[in-house]
Structure 1
């Protein structure tokens, strides 16, 4: 039974042991507390808390990625990856977007590739919020420039949706920045253009999903409410993007035939 739940993508085998022994699982309508109960996937009916578990169950995790950890499945340089933090027998999941090695915080993982693509699509403009420690005392003028736009050495102009100071001292500050576009290393490139050192970069939210008190290196499943809330946000921003696209398109003038 425990192995079947893992193979179906519902949870890791160790998590399945706890669910089964805790009386959350039924096999063909009968409560079972034996993780070793034989199961024929595709023929037997498995339910967890009254919900049927089918092959191809989609799963959604949120992780608090540690600094220094990469998001690839394996690394040719032998660096630590986020996959080392997954419980044994966790079904395959992939990161939704990436956090670079030096960054930390909220990382979504899922086996729902279509959902992941919606979140990372440039046209989605889903809010992503970061707490950034910089090596100067943040001034209001600098925060305003982040919103107005900063030109990099390559000529690109990067803007953030909002920026505000959280706290700080004489030599460094923590600021909160919200982005609604997903350009590569955008925050680091902005501060590089300004000649400001980034000391720490922590993603704390994607849409309605917040990091909260999740410990570093730990992960949990998205709650049904979180998943539904994010899906609704995606519908809203997708609809907004579609309307903007239609407004931006202007048909060519019709030429009168002589």
Structure 2
């Protein structure tokens, strides 16, 4: 039995979860959907409403709600800004060519929102060589080591947060991992990694007029004005990248709550009216 039969409850929970993540900084789908359910359901006969994961929207449904909120708030300028971000990504990838950069996430899929950064995977044989290269480019960056739980194992990833025209995040992988593709936490499918040629083709397909102008002049009309839109956005935080198509950051931190793919044998409180539903 679907919660959709009860006044679109599932969709309303997804919308409220998206609002919590954007406006209140809730940083996990797991937490946001449960907070949203409790806020919408309130109490039934003096008791807090009960729910179980099967009654709640998926990560993908929440991501779609996040995208809708972004479209409503930014309008047509969002498409122009997407092209500007893709050009910044393209030029950064060309600069990082020795390390086989690949674009992932919201700039790749088009699911950007205000404050979205550019996410690149890089595959250096020697991380020190990567760091020297980034320094030689004159980029300002912070290095961060993140521990997450992935596939039941604790893994560490190194991230470089680069302050460029738009913020870049470089995630370091071993060269052998270039042939493997992590799965998205939103739909379970392998994520798409775009190389320079694929990103160029995407720009030509999605932004033909702007792409032709860029090829002719090397410029993006209004680049500075478009990217200044992000100056009033919240500082980068744990909820950045929520519209991405999945990455290692979609796994749960080692000491955080588990994600929506919880233990099927774990006992959860069902939504009112669902107590007897299998």
TM-score (norm 1): 0.23
Structure (1/2) with the larger strand percentage? 1
Structure (1/2) with the larger helix percentage? 2
TM-score (norm 2): 0.22
Structure number, greater radius of gyration: 1
Q: Which has the higher contact order (CA 8 A, sep 6+)?
A: 2
